């Protein structure tokens, strides 16, 4: 088993970082994420919001891994989160549902507001392989290296969404039942951004929309 732990501080308030965390897909730093769907969401008697999401990710096996063991380089990941708006804490646990004998990665993330009004992110991960055949440690080391690299890209993705929220002047919203569409920019926000685009200012929002709505590739020649 391999264990990873890391902390990071965002300068933004907890409500903004929590919003960016749940809106982080899609983004250019998470091209390996194919889909992300909410499968359940409920509010607890204490006022917390509990959400379960199912995420499909793609990857690639290392060249040294035996051929034919894993039929497809995709994995379903379950994400279970709890948002405590009163304690200003987000707790989230994710783990892959398939290929668990080859390697299972269980990640625990917490976002909490610190005394300075900033947001502390603490991440822990446990990487376990039960593959055997003399490859267990090699698989776990590979998983740890890949997880560290993905952590950096994940942080860059959240930071991008934070920048978009600031630029489009989205306000922090209370996360309640039925808040799936709370990230939709208001017409006023869109108008402000469009006005800047019309005068030739290529904003971050413009670049993100360009990435989001890329035209499909041309069909292969007959």
User: Residue 122 belongs to a domain with what CATH number?
Assistant: 3.30.530.20
Q: Which pLDDT does position 202 carry in this prediction?
A: 56
Question: What DSSP character marks residue 86?
Answer: T
Q: Which pLDDT does position 222 carry in this prediction?
A: 55
> Number of folded domains in the chain?
1
Its pTM stands at 0.76
Tokens of 79: 């994400």
By DSSP bridging, strand 49-58 and strand 33-43 are antiparallel
Domain annotation covers residue 63: yes
Residues 21, 51: Cα–Cα separation, whole Å: 13
Domain annotation covers residue 136: yes
Which residues of the chain, if any, have pLDDT below 70?
Answer: 169-222
Show the CA angle centred on residue 70, arms to residues 67 and 73, nearest 5°: 110
Domain annotation covers residue 27: yes
Q: Which pLDDT does position 187 carry in this prediction?
A: 38
Q: Which pLDDT does position 117 carry in this prediction?
A: 95
Residues 173, 10: Cα–Cα separation, whole Å: 18
Domain annotation covers residue 17: yes
How many other C-beta atoms can be found within 10 angstroms of the C-beta atom of residue 3? 10
Domain annotation covers residue 86: yes
Per the structure, the complete domain to which residue 38 belongs is given by: 2-167
Q: Which pLDDT does position 69 carry in this prediction?
A: 84
Domain annotation covers residue 80: yes
Domain annotation covers residue 121: yes
Q: Which pLDDT does position 211 carry in this prediction?
A: 58
Reduced to 3 states, what is the DSSP secondary structure of residue 56? strand
Domain annotation covers residue 185: no
Q: Which pLDDT does position 190 carry in this prediction?
A: 37
């Amino acid at each position: 088993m391999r264990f990873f732990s890391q902390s990071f501080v965002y300068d933004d308030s907890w409500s903004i970082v929590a919003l960016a965390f749940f809106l982080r897909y899609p983004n250019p730093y998470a091209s390996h994420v194919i889909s992300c769907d909410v499968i359940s969401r409920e509010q607890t008697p204490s006022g917390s919001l509990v959400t379960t999401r199912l995420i499909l990710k793609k990857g690639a096996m290392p060249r040294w891994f035996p051929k034919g063991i894993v039929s497809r380089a995709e994995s379903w990941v379950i994400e279970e989160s709890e948002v405590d708006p009163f304690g200003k804490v987000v707790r989230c646990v994710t783990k892959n549902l398939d290929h668990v004998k080859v390697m299972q990665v269980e990640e625990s993330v917490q976002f909490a507001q610190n005394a300075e009004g900033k947001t502390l992110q603490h991440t822990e991960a446990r990487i376990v392989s039960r593959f055997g055949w003399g490859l267990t440690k090699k698989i776990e080391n590979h998983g740890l290296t890949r997880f560290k690299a993905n952590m950096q890209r994940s942080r860059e993705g959240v930071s991008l969404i934070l920048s978009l929220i600031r630029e489009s002047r989205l306000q922090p919203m209370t996360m309640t039942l039925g808040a799936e569409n709370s990230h939709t920019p208001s017409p006023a926000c869109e108008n402000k951004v469009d006005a800047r685009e019309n005068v030739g200012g290529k904003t971050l929002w413009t670049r993100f929309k360009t990435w989001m709505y890329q035209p499909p590739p041309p069909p292969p020649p007959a």
